[in-house]
Amino acid sequence: MATGSSSLGIGRVLIAAYAVLAFASFGRAGYELAAKFNEAPLPYALSAFSAVVYIVATFALARRGSTARKIASIAVSIELLGVLTIGAASLIWPEVFTFDGKQVRTVWSFFGIAYGFVPLVLPVLGLLWLRKTATK
């Protein structure tokens, strides 16, 4: 259970946002991998990867201790790098994210547009929160 700074205020909101995104991306990836993987393997594998990152980040942010904080920092940093890299790649090489003439989106493609750009903003907030709540 979350304790300390993660159990109050913005920490709870941040963890809840991560939990919602973890659930949404896990559901999306599960469906894509089970039903449509052959259509666009790379985008659907990226969706699965993002789901894993969100799940790890959610649990790490909800735990206390230096190990959990390190894991959270790594997961949130990977998330930021992923959304920036995949977001840029989906703009630069849209053909990689196209199947049968239709755009195939991942959680992080186009900087998270399908999720209201939350995937772009959330890791920035997460890293700021981790920095603010760090013990000196």
The C-alpha atoms of residue 50 and residue 7 are separated, in whole angstroms, by: 25
The pTM is what? 0.87
Give the residue from 131, 39, 37, 53 showing the smallest Cα distance to 85.
53
Contact indicator for 60, 97 with CB cutoff of 8 Å: no
Q: Please state the domain extents for the chain.
A: 4-132
Q: Which residues pair with 103 in a beta bridge?
A: 98
Residue 133 Cα distances to 17, 59, 61, 99, angstroms: 18, 17, 11, 44
Bridge partners, residue 102, by sequence: 99
For 54-89, write each residue's pLDDT tens digit.
999 999 999 989 999 999 999 999 999 999 999 999
Asked whether residue 45 carries a pLDDT value surpassing 60, the answer given is: yes
Give pLDDT, residue 8. Answer: 62
